[in-house]
């Protein structure tokens, strides 16, 4: 995992590839095409790109109209604006009519960095997973992000693909295929399950390495598909290990940790710890500083696992 690439880099590149392959993709952006990388599609295919200006509600409405006309629209913008500012349009125009609009905003989570709490979206997974018909994907690296975008482009209905600004290690090879409703087992284990998504997958793998030095064999799951959620798969891992740590760069309310808690409550009640942002807004700082400040590092995950092991006993 030496190479680092931001998941947002996958958006523009993959849209160009899909257009080259004959998929009728278009991009609708709210004046952030350089940051979201949809500018790459604009350069390669100017007639497939629509900049609506700083008007996120219009962005969603325009994308919905393009979907009705048979196009495959992807929307840009930052996560905080694409979900928060345009929530009514996402709910009532896109999801209520089950339109094939693919929301793929960038700059999610605290790893946005110095832009601060106003731009660090920590509630988007919760907002999107509650919407009927919406599929919610949180890729762990650049390769997974490309695969998620490809999957969304050929699958009917609405999607939310959470992309980030900061570079993250490339975990997967080019043969990776995204599967809806399936978590990927990155490391087999028997003592505790580390269920992570997005940038936290890297941290969970590092935590598992640290725990292994202490004789603790942790299972690591990349839960990249938050909805549909792999509840049975999470429960099966929980039954095997007897404890689960959910790890997310998101509020502990309503995101991956909540989805894991729901699954365990119904299918496999075991001790659970949630590593995430504790019901606060973000703040300004460099990504690594913020990960440490909010308790989202590999050390924090390993400590949560150690506490769970005590509860198991």
Q: How many CB atoms lie within 10 A of CB 23?
A: 14
Q: How many CB atoms lie within 10 A of CB 206?
A: 18
Can you tell me the distance from the alpha carbon of 299 to that of 209, in angstroms, rounded to the nearest whole number?
Answer: 11
Cβ neighbors of 119 (< 8 A, separation 6 or more) are 78, 80, 107, 112, 282
Can you tell me the distance from the alpha carbon of 269 to that of 118, in angstroms, rounded to the nearest whole number?
Answer: 37
Strand order in the sheet with 218-222: 184-187, 218-222, 192-196, 244-251, 272-277
Q: Which residue among 9, 17, 21, 56 is the active-site one? A: 56
Strands 167-169 and 272-277: unpaired
Can you tell me the distance from the alpha carbon of 309 to that of 192, in angstroms, rounded to the nearest whole number?
Answer: 8
- The two structure tokens encoding residue 210: 């640290």
Can you tell me the distance from the alpha carbon of 249 to that of 101, in angstroms, rounded to the nearest whole number?
Answer: 25
What DSSP element (H or E) covers 28? strand 25-29
CB of 82 closer than 8 Å to CB of 105 = yes
What DSSP element (H or E) covers 74? strand 72-75
13 has catalytic annotation: no
Tokens 């989202």 -> residue: 296
CB of 180 closer than 8 Å to CB of 230 = no
Q: Which of 35, 55, 131, 46 is nearest to 91 (CA)?
A: 131
Please identify every residue annotated as catalytic. 56
């Amino acid at each position: 995992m030496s190479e680092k690439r931001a998941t947002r880099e996958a958006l523009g590149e993959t849209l160009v590839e899909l257009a080259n392959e004959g998929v009728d993709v278009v991009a609708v952006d709210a004046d952030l095409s350089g940051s979201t990388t949809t500018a790459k599609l604009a350069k390669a295919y100017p007639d497939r790109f629509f900049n609506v200006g700083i008007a996120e509600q219009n962005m969603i409405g325009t994308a919905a109209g393009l979907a009705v006309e048979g196009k495959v629209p992807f929307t840009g913008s930052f996560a905080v604006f694409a979900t928060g500012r345009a929530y009514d349009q996402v709910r009532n125009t896109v999801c209520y009519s089950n339109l094939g609009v693919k929301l793929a905003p960038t700059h999610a989570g605290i790893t946005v960095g110095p832009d601060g709490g106003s731009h660090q979206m920590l509630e988007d997974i919760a907002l999107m997973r509650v919407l009927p018909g919406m599929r919610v994907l949180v890729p762990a690296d650049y390769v997974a992000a490309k695969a998620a975008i490809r999957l969304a482009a050929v699958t009917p209905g609405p999607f939310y693909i959470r992309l980030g600004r900061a570079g993250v290690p490339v975990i997967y090879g080019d043969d990776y295929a995204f599967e809806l409703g399936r978590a990927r087992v990155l490391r087999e284990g028997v003592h505790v399950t580390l269920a992570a998504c997005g940038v936290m997958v890297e941290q969970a793998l590092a935590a598992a390495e640290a725990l292994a030095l202490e004789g603790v064999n942790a299972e690591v799951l990349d839960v990249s598909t938050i909805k549909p959620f792999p509840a049975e798969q999470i429960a099966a891992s929980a039954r095997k290990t007897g404890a689960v740590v959910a790890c997310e760069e998101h509020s502990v309310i309503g995101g991956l940790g909540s989805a894991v808690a729901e699954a365990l409550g119904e299918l496999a009640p075991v001790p659970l710890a949630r590593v995430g942002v504790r019901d606060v807004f973000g703040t300004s700082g460099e990504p690594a500083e913020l990960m440490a400040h909010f308790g989202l590092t590999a050390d924090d995950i390993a400590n949560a696992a150690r506490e769970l092991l005590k509860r198991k006993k």
